[in-house]
Every structure is written in structure tokens, then in C-alpha cells.
């Protein structure tokens, strides 16, 4: 096993090869570290590499395999977005403010993946505090999109998307306040799931917006996301929003066919302004789902255009979190993030409350729709990844996104590849489901993935 076959192997295949002794976690980890050394100077996915620790963990995994340990994630090399606290390992949040912060405890998600046997390769670059964008001159270089390094990989889990797409790790952690797991998955042609609010712990993760922040995994296939989510999901007393809802068998659910599954298409808002290539890829994906036996029908979310009020909530909460540092050490924030955070101070208390009222109405309407269908399908992003030049152009506004409605509603939402633009950039399908029904969303995504080849394409790195 070498080359692309090794760098892009999935969790099930790696586990099989580990147990047949055709490959060892040390060999895999060494190969990925060599690949990181070769590719990362261009892609900037990692902000901190923990090579010695990774090799030690891989050796421990190898010993556990010899003892007959059957954990599916044993020996699987992963990266953690640098917004998850890691004990004894610098955690920057992509910010000069925390450039030298070394936490004394792991975040719950990191603990759970390490306990499941994962090998930590390092920390993956994040947009500054999960919201800013690394403009030229920023303390940390921005990750680049492996499909075309002139384009952004999406954010804020930018390093996670870039590392997975380029075959530098097998799984990754991201966070998603307005699309920061699904956006990089979309732009980099990989898979990411934002679970239900409360499904995965936020404890030990830097806050952007308390009521919108979600944690979750990214990987290169729906099945790999299911394996990672299985280890991450579950109640955590350290997170006040954590849910005690029982955890499903995510990987086990994938085998069930989707014949008869009702899939709702919400065209209003989600297709507004979408590129022709995105619309075409989306309609083709719907035909594939129909061919698989799904009952695909249009649905309507009456007040979906309330979704942009998401920004009132996110910016207000983010300003509340950052206010002291913004006022006392503003120079430690990047220009763009500082401006975005400062905008959070410009909303009135009444406006925040009104936005939370509209949020409640929208969430109710989305739940009403999900009483008539099992899954809502949309394009993840109306357009493929823009260039850095476009993102850094201060005359250009913040682009509209299809992802925040699922942060507002807290519903689980999966992003997976469904095509490519004429310029060779990935296009993504978003599938969202009822609260705590991640298994249904993953099942739909897996069935689609098995019927298509998009997730098997590799970038020219």
C-alpha cells in the first residue's frame, strides 16, 4: 500500500489492514508526516505539528492491536482544529492573542478521540477565533485550497479541509458556528457533519457564539464521519448545552437503503443566486437520490429569509465574549476580525432579542417541514470557493451562505461532494435532518456517496 492508496485510505480499510498486519499505525503515521513535510509548506494546513507524540501514539496503537484491541479508530491519524484545547500543546485559535497559550487540559472532543485510539498529528490552522480571515501580514499564514492554491479552502476550519483533501490526515475536528465545518468540506471536496446542537461537547473549545457554536468531525467519506462522530457524541457535564439524548449507531445505520426516504427540497433562499454549475450539480444529485428510491419533493420554509438575522446573534455574542480584549488589546486582532467583532457592539439589546424570536419561529418552521420529510437537501454553498484576492477585497461584502439556518435551528447537517465546477473546484450537497437524527442524515449521504464517484477524486497536489 503506497501513494494515493495509502494517503487517501478510509478508516474501515485502514483498520482491516492493521489487523491483517499489512500495514502498521507507525508506517501510516510516518508516511503522513513525510507527506505533511512535503505539502504543508504550500498548503499551511498545520499550525503545530506533533510528530514525536504522533509516533509514540502510533507505537502504542500498534501494541494495542497486537493485544487484539478492536476499537475502529485505533491508530487512525487525525488533526485537531487549533481552537480545541490540547493539554501541553500550544492552542492559538489562529490569533496573536493566544499565540503562546498552552492549555493544561484537553477539550472533551480531543479526549474522546484520543481515548478511542486516534493518533494526534498536530493542530490545524483555523481562521482567527473561527471568524476572521488571515489577511496578508497576519501572524499565521492562511491554509490554501489543495484543488487550486489561489482559492480559499473555506473556513473557519480551513486547515481541517485542506489537510483532508490533500491526504495529510484521515480525520479532523472542526467547529461550526455559521458553516465552519461544512464550508471547508464544501470548498475542499471532503465530508463534514455539524451534529445537532448539544450532541457533541463544546467544553474546552474557544467560544465564538454560545448559542450557535457546534463541534464535529470532517473526513473524506460519510462512513469515516460516522466512525468519528460515534466517538465524539454523547453527554458531557462540562458543557451546559450538552444533551443527554441517547447516541445512535451511526456506522451501523449506513447499511440501510434509502428507498422511501422523504427528501425535501427547499429552493427558496438556498438556490437564490447560486452558480449555474452548482444548480446543475444539485439537480443531478436529486436525480441520483430519486434513482435510489427516495421520494424527493419540494418543501417550503415560509420565513427562511429571516436567516440573515443570524449575524445579529453571532456578532452580539462574539462581541460579548471578546469585549475586554477588544478594548484593551485591539492591536492583537486582525483588521477584518476586529471590525467584525466591533460590529457586534452596534446592535441594540432589543435587536438581539428580536433576532432570537425570529430564530425561534424559523426553527419551528424547519421542524414543521421535517414532520413531512426525513431530510432537507440544499447546495452547501451557492458558489464554489472564491480566490484569496476576492476574499481580501474590502469592497466585497460578506457572501450569503446556505449554512447558518442549520446553526439557528441546531439541526444536524452534513456536507458532501456532489460535483465540480468547470474550473475544477468542488461543489457540495447539504443534507439536514431532525434533531439527534444524525443517523438518518448520514444514511442518506452514504447512499448518495456510494452511487457516485465525486468523493474519490483527488486534487493535483
Partner 1 sequence: MSAEISLDEVKRRAQVAGVAIRDDRWEAVRRLLVEALKPLRAVDSRAIATLEPAMRFDARGESRKGPTDGRR
Shortest distance, CB of residue 371 to partner 1, whole angstroms?
Answer: 11
Residue pair 82/92 in contact (Cβ under 8 Å)? The answer is yes
Rule CB under 8 A: say whether 134 interacts with partner 1: no
Q: Is 288 left (phi over 0), alpha (psi -120 to 50) or beta?
A: alpha
Q: Could you tell me which residues are beta bridge partners of residue 415?
A: 192, 430
Smallest gap from residue 56 Cβ to partner 1 (A): 39
The residues with which 237 forms a beta bridge, in sequence order, are none
- Least Cβ distance, residue 315 to partner 1 (angstroms): 7
User: From the CB of 353, what's the least distance to partner 1, in Å?
Assistant: 5
410 backbone φψ class: left, alpha, beta (φ>0; ψ -120 to 50) = left
Query: Considering the complex, what minimum distance in angstroms separates the CB of residue 341 from partner 1?
Result: 9
Name residue 205's beta-bridge partners: 84
Q: Which of 280, 284, 354, 452 binds partner 1 (CB under 8 A)?
A: 354
- Whether 156 is catalytic: yes
Q: Tell me, rounded to whole angstroms, the distance of Cα 358 from its chain centroid.
A: 26
**CA pair distance 343, 316, nearest whole angstrom:** 8
101 contacts partner 1 (rule: CB under 8 A): no
* Total of chain residues touching partner 1, rule CB under 8 A: 52
3-state secondary structure at position 299: coil
Q: Does 211 bind partner 1 (CB under 8 A)?
A: yes
Q: Supply the DSSP symbol for 178.
A: S
Instruction: Output 99 or 245, the one with its CB closest to partner 1.
Output: 245
Residue from 174, 192, 410, 459 touching partner 1 (CB under 8 A): that is 410
Contacts of 227 (CB under 8 A, 6+ apart): 11, 12, 72, 73, 171, 219, 250, 251
Which one, 106 or 176, has the nearer CB to partner 1? Answer: 176
Among 53, 284, 342, 457, which residue interacts with partner 1 (rule: CB under 8 A)? Answer: 342
- Can you tell me which of 64, 253, 311, 320 binds partner 1, judged by CB under 8 A? 311
Length of the chain: 461
Q: Which residues bind partner 1 (CB under 8 A)?
A: 196-198, 211, 241, 243, 245, 303, 305-312, 315, 326-327, 330, 335, 339-340, 342-343, 345-347, 351, 353-361, 363-365, 367-368, 394-395, 397-398, 409-411, 435-436
Known catalytic residues?
A: 81, 156, 180
Amino acid at each position: 500500500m503506497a501513494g494515493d492508496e495509502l494517503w487517501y485510505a478510509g478508516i474501515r480499510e485502514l483498520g482491516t489492514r492493521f489487523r491483517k498486519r499489512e500495514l502498521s499505525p507507525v508506517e501510516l503515521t510516518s508516511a503522513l508526516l513525510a507527506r505533511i513535510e512535503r505539502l504543508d509548506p504550500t498548503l499551511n494546513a498545520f499550525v503545530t505539528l506533533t510528530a514525536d507524540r504522533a509516533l509514540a501514539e502510533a507505537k502504542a496503537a500498534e501494541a494495542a492491536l497486537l493485544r487484539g484491541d478492536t476499537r475502529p479508530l485505533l491508530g487512525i491519524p487525525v488533526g485537531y482544529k487549533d481552537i480545541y484545547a490540547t493539554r501541553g500543546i500550544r492552542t492559538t485559535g489562529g490569533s496573536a492573542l493566544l499565540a503562546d497559550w498552552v492549555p493544561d487540559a484537553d477539550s472533551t472532543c480531543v479526549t474522546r478521540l484520543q481515548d478511542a485510539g486516534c493518533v494526534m498529528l498536530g493542530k490545524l490552522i483555523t481562521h482567527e477565533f473561527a471568524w476572521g480571515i488571515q489577511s496578508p501580514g497576519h501572524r499565521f499564514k492562511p491554509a490554501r485550497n489543495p484543488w487550486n492554491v489561489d482559492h480559499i479552502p473555506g473556513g473557519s476550519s480551513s486547515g481541517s479541509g485542506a489537510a483532508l483533501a490533500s491526504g495529510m490526515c484521515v480525520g479532523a475536528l472542526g467547529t461550526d458556528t455559521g458553516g465552519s465545518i461544512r464550508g471547508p468540506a464544501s470548498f475542499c471536496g471532503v465530508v463534514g457533519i455539524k451534529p445537532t446542537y448539544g450532541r457533541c461537547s463544546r467544553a474546552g473549545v474557544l467560544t465564538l457564539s454560545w448559542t450557535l457554536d457546534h463541534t464535529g468531525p470532517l473526513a473524506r467519506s460519510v462512513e469515516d464521519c460516522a466512525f468519528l462522530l460515534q466517538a465524539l457524541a454523547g453527554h458531557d457535564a462540562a458543557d451546559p448545552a450538552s444533551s443527554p439524548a441517547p447516541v445512535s449507531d451511526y456506522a451501523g445505520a449506513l447499511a440501510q437503503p434509502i428507498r422511501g426516504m422523504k427528501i425535501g427540497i427547499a429552493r427558496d433562499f438556498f438556490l437564490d443566486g447560486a452558480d449555474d454549475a452548482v444548480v446543475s450539480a444539485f439537480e443531478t444529485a436529486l436525480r441520483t437520490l430519486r434513482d435510489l428510491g427516495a421520494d424527493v419533493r419540494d418543501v417550503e420554509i415560509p420565513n427562511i429569509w429571516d436567516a440573515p438575522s443570524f449575524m445579529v446573534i453571532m456578532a452580539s455574542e462574539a462581541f460579548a465574549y471578546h469585549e475586554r480584549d477588544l478594548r484593551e488589546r485591539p492591536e492583537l486582532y486582525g483588521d477584518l476580525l476586529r471590525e467584525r467583532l466591533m460590529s457586534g457592539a452596534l446592535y441594540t439589546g432589543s435587536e438581539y432579542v428580536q433576532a432570537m424570536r425570529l430564530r425561534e419561529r424559523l426553527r419551528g418552521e424547519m421542524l414543521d417541514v421535517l414532520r413531512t420529510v426525513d431530510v432537507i437537501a440544499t447546495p452547501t454553498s451557492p458558489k464554489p470557493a472564491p480566490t484569496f484576492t476576492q476574499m481580501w477585497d474590502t469592497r466585497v461584502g460578506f457572501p450569503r451562505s446556505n449554512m447558518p439556518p442549520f446553526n439557528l435551528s441546531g439541526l444536524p447537517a452534513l456536507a458532501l461532494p456532489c460535483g465540480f465546477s468547470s474550473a475544477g473546484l468542488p461543489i457540495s450537497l447539504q443534507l439536514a435532518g431532525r434533531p439527534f437524527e444524525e443517523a438518518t442524515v448520514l444514511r442518506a449521504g452514504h447512499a448518495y456517496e456510494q452511487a457516485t464517484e465525486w468523493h474519490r477524486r483527488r486534487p493535483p497536489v
